[in-house]
Each structure stands twice: as C-alpha cells, then as structure tokens.
Chain A
C-alpha cells in the first residue's frame, strides 16, 4: 500500500512561471517531509524539508507547504528555470526513521 502518493507523473511549465508539485500521504504518524530532486543517472538530491510543526518552509526559489489536516504537501518553485527539469520525489518519515517515497513527478521547464 502506497503511503506517499504523487498523482501527477509529469508537469510542464514555462520558464519564469511557477511550478507546483503535489504530494499526498495516508499515515498520520509521519512527522517529517522531504523533497528530493533526481537527474538521470544520478541519485536523489535533497532539496528541502519541513517538520510537521510547521506549515511552510522556504529556501530561495523553493517553498514547501504542509496541510496536515488534508495530509497534503506541495512544492512551489518560483521562478522556474530550465535547470529545474528533473524528477521530483516526495518522501515522509515518522520519528526520524525510514523514508517512504512517492513515485515521482517529472518536471519539464520549457525555455
């Protein structure tokens, strides 16, 4: 049973516009959420994270929003750049234990 879900396999956005990647989870024990970015033939690279005690965390062009009541989080990239084109994985953990990953969303930023 998939505890972390990314229902959009792909997303295309024009350069300079906002990219919004979504993620849903089912396990209410999850208390830490992360986004990883993956280029072809490379391992996932940590991008940004958020603790369940917060509802927003911002790092430069990247912002993660957490809605605990809806068990939903999203990653906003503003402005989107061609170098942001990659597969983005949402992940969650409970008590600093094992990570559970979604299936990923392939973002394409069109120049």
Chain B
C-alpha cells in the first residue's frame, strides 16, 4: 500500500512570493491533516479535513494561508505571500475513520529567503 505522498520535497522561494504544496493521502483515508514543523519542535496542526470539509482550521493563519481538498482526496496548501518566518517543514497526514493513528508523508521543506 502506498503511503502519503507529498510534493515538492524541497522548495526555496524569496519572501513575498506564493508557494503551494500538494498531498495525496493513503487510499481510503477520509481524514487529512496539514501540520507545520519548526526546527526542534513537534508538528503543529494547521488544518484538518473530513472528506472535503475543513472541520478544524482554527490554527491556520488565514490572512496568508489557504487550503483546499476539492474532491475529498488530494489536498493543496498555499501560502501567499510567503514570509521569512514561514520557513519550516510542512507535513501532511491521513487517517481512516474509526482509528486514532495518523500516517505522515515525508514533508515539504520550505526555505524563504
């Protein structure tokens, strides 16, 4: 079974530029999460989807961050415009209903110059 797929793996951009990250969850997993991980810290939740509905986006900085999961499968996380402090690893995770375990992708390491 394929795991969670994320792309790109690495992205370097200049501040004020837009950037987008893509995630393909494990097949059949209806719950999808985006996390932010800063250096030396644990992952922190940005947004959680149940199918195509964002059920928890309370930690998403909505002035510059947006996300979508239009057909309840793949998801895209966007930052516009990026700031220096956005440099971090962005992780996607998925989970199937009735279980508590989340499975993570490899992450996208974003560097904002």
Contact = CB atoms under 8 A, between A and B. Distances in A.
Interface string B81-109: 00000000001010000111111111101
By size class, the interface of chain B is 20 to 34
B42 A101 contact: yes
Nearest to A42: B106
- Chain B's interface: helix, strand, loop or mixed, by majority? loop
Interface size class of A (residues with CB under 8 A): 20 to 34
B100 A43 contact: no
Contacts, number: 53
A36 B56 CA distance: 23
Contacts of B105: 43
Nearest to B58: A98
Interface stretch (A14-22, A58-66, A89-97): A89-97
A97 B33 CA distance: 11
A66 to B, nearest CB: 14
Residue from the set B48, B98, B101, B105 with the largest chain A CB neighbour count within 10 Å = B101
